[in-house]
Amino acid sequence: MTATDTGASTSATATSAGSEEDLLARVSAPQGQGRQIREPATGAVLGAAPVHSKQDLDAAVAAARAAQPAWAASGHEQRSQVLLRMADRIDALAEPLARLLAREQGKPLNGPNARFEVGACSAWLRATAATTLEPQVVVDDGATRAELTYRPVGVVGAIGPWNWPLMITIWQVAPALRMGNAVVVKPSEYTPLSVLALISILNEELPEGVLSAVSGEGEVGARLASHPDVDKVMFTGSTATGRRIIESSAGNLARLTLELGGNDAGIVLPDADPQAIADGLFWGAFINTGQTCAALKRLYVHDSLYEEVVDALADVARAMPMGASLDETSVLGPLQNKQQFDVVARLVEDAKQRGGRIVTGGQPATELGELFFPVTLIADLKDGDPLVDEEQFGPALPIIRYSEIDDAVASANRLEAGLGASVWSADPAAARAVAERIQAGTVWINSHGGVHPMVPFGGVKGSGYGLEFGVEGLKAVAAPQVISAASPTIAPTA
């Protein structure tokens, strides 16, 4: 299978596919080839992902380069209509796509998980199609009229993660296509099959070559980031890999949007109601079993209500069912891969050795499967403890006591990460005052981690740069151009 096969035009068989097995058949490597992908919840083999080479990537980029001018010339209205039809295609196959995602990524079907993620894909496509980016008149003084406009950058390389593989792919692909670019997608090697299936669905509405996916190891992603014919790179993943992409981009001067690691702090002010905020704190920390860049990863609680918050959060945690991905009662699932499981297990064990108080969880849930780790709340930790300072990216939350708000703000700002943060309070003005002091791309008040297709999202410091979503997201995948016209009645100056 070549790279462009995953972006092939629709066929009668493809459009009639009605189960996750049908979707798998579209994108799997031929029998006996490819790399085995196992289901995190069960360890069973799900399928075999094609392993593309750097030569396959070169072919995909060349096809994108050839197809992009005609796609750009089709105009904003036509491209928006294509995005709307893509959304309809996803909705028509939402259930099999969600089941494939659940089996490959591990997240359950229900709750803010697989069905939610697939629904977000079509919602984001529709929102992107409806977003307008009008020319901006920057000067019109009678002598000069200057307009700022935006043109396609050309070919966009989109490198995605394994935690929200479909949704983040759409976050990258939708605005890039909307602005007239061609896109080459490199999915994570942990979750390639669901992304390849998504790309095959989208390609039922696209001209050949405009969108393709290349499934391979890290060297393929590195080649995409440094490719001389790639004009823009969008990457969601670790800060370490983001730094390597920045270095690679020096050779081709590719524009970058980097959404990197986070270690989001939450600060509970002394006037908060522990019972009222417990659900929001829980889902802020444990959506997708904690495997979310902008999840709440360290919680600072004022002395006066520390134990009340710990108890209220523990009550919520104990009521949340964890189990197999296709079990309709589950809302929490396994860690996606052994490497991430080991990170969580190491940090929890270290926290116990340092005197952390285990409130819930604390040991692998081996009765559920190899990669299951229960929701683990650990109280009485402090800044400097590894579970506080390192991004755990899993279902373990350190809870830290503070007495002075200045100390809590300093703690929130002390780390390299700056993706998101949250402030919890019954007083909106007090919460706003604290939020303005936190060094993060987004600060939520009385919630954590929610995103909206019209609200710009991006990080600061070690969490990357560039914005996604809404008008700013369209600008990020476009090249600004100023058209400046002098009045013909004004004589030019020497």
Q: What positions carry a catalytic annotation? A: 259, 293
CA distance 396 to 199: 33
Q: Taking the CA of residue 87 as centre, how many other CA atoms within 13 Å lie in the half-sphere pointing to its CB?
A: 19
Q: Where are the alpha helices (DSSP H) in 209-258?
A: 218-226, 239-252
DSSP-based three-state secondary structure for 482: strand
User: Do residues 348 and 360 make contact, with C-beta atoms less than 8 angstroms apart?
Assistant: no
DSSP class of residue 421 equals E
CA distance 392 to 424: 22
Name the E strands within 243-331: 255-259, 264-268, 296-302
Largest CA distance in the chain: 83
CA angle (259 as vertex; 257, 262 as ends), nearest 5: 160
User: Do residues 333 and 41 make contact, with C-beta atoms less than 8 angstroms apart?
Assistant: yes
Residue 201 parent element (H or E): helix 192-202
User: Do residues 300 and 411 make contact, with C-beta atoms less than 8 angstroms apart?
Assistant: yes
Measure CA of the first residue to CA of the last residue in the chain; give whole Å. 62
* Phi, psi of 397, deg, nearest 5: -120, 120
Q: Which two tokens stand for residue 339?
A: 């490497």
